[in-house]
Amino acid sequence: MNTEAQWYFPLNDETLQCRLCPHNCILKEGKSGICRVRFNQEGKLLTQVYGFVSAINFDPIEKKPLYHFYPGSTILSIGTYGCNLRCFFCQNCGISQTAAEPELPRSNYTPDQIIQMALKRPGNIGIAFTYNEPVIWYEYMYDIARLAKKAGLKTVMVTNGFVNKEPLEALLEYIDAFSVDLKAFNEEFYAKVTSSQLEPVKQTLKQISLAGKHLEVVNLVIPGLNDNETAFSAMAKWIATELGRETVLHISRYFPNYKLTTEATPVSSIRNLKRLAEKELSYVYTGNMHTESSDTHCIKCNNILITRHSYAVSAVGLDAEGKCKVCGNFFLKKT
């Protein structure tokens, strides 16, 4: 069912502007925004995706990826259709690069039904907004997140970070943890490969960090497009300076998908970039690299805190308060 959206302003009788994300689409009567799921009908901005769920699963939290937020837990994960970006390499293009056509496979859930499902599953910590870009179903995410807080559930947003400051500010109160893509440290890449911009994503990262929310950053390395060592090192340095040296960085190996046929990232390249990132950051993990260790070591005494074998996770070196069992260094922040 189409529902009135938030974050829009009329420009005249026929035209309005959506100010949810930095595209700030100006929409004439009957037209949809770049995300394909928000449209102008008789001077009102409507969303087509309120309660329109394309995928719903109980996932390991490590799959988001979040490695330092309730490690080893399960989280109810939901997504819809559409996206405000056009990444050539999108791994979820089947749901992200389409409009929310009525004939597409979907389930409809009210926010309360999502909450009840999350509460019923033993061991489930909360709800993750993921799979496609959750910003574009802002109203539904916001309503669920508010109810989730009242119910004592955790909330997670897996996002490209391309959102305007005011809507993000309103949401921050209700989201506990963020996994944010920093796709490259290069405006040209963002413009050509994703049809968006880097600067707003940097602002989003700083805003989340300043709000004291749990934040992990993901960089997918694509050969020839964003694997330049100088730019990569500058990105790691920026994360350390602006977000903190202990911000988690996931460096993921790319595989061909959607419009990009470039061969998969060489393993040696990921290993090399990991070494560079570790000069700036305390916690750097590789993704889509099943041969590599993704254990977490204590930054003070090097004791193994958490072991990970695929999604089998064990906090072997942590006490009940989230401190290193050997040196007592505080590791896990409870939210």
Is there binding between residue 329 and ligand SF4 (CB under 6 A)? no
Which of 235/304 has CB closer to ligand SF4? 235
Please give the DSSP secondary-structure letter assigned to residue 282: S
Identify residues 142-171 at the interface with ligand SF4 (CB under 6 A): 160
How far apart CA 141 and CA 126 sit, in angstroms, is 13
> At 218, which helix (H) or strand (E)?
strand 214-221
Which of 23/308 has CB closer to ligand SF4? 23
The only residue of 40, 80, 96, 219 in contact with ligand SF4, by rule CB under 6 A: 96
The only residue of 76, 125, 136, 235 in contact with ligand SF4, by rule CB under 6 A: 136
Please give the C-alpha separations between residue 164 and each of 7, 144, 204, 295, 313, in angstroms, as whole numbers.
Answer: 10, 20, 8, 35, 35
The only residue of 40, 77, 133, 190 in contact with ligand SF4, by rule CB under 6 A: 133
Which of 12/268 has CB closer to ligand SF4? 12
How far apart CA 217 and CA 160 sit, in angstroms, is 10
Taking Cα atoms as reference points, which of 280, 187, 197, 285 lies closest to residue 241?
Answer: 280
Identify residues 55-94 at the interface with ligand SF4 (CB under 6 A): 83-87, 90, 92
Is there binding between residue 47 and ligand SF4 (CB under 6 A)? no
Which of 203/233 has CB closer to ligand SF4? 203
Which of 92/155 has CB closer to ligand SF4? 92
Taking Cα atoms as reference points, which of 29, 117, 89, 81 lies closest to residue 256?
Answer: 89
Residue 232 burial (CB < 10 Å; 0-12/13-18/19+)? buried
Handedness of CA 69, 94, 164, 3 (dihedral sign): negative
Identify residues 188-207 at the interface with ligand SF4 (CB under 6 A): 194
Angle at 42 between CA 36 and CA 43, to 5 degrees: 80
Judged by CB under 6 A, which stretch of 23-31, 145-153, 170-178, 237-245 contacts ligand SF4?
A: 23-31
Site for ligand SF4, rule CB under 6 A: 18, 20-21, 23-25, 33-35, 38, 83-87, 90, 92, 96, 132-133, 136, 160, 194
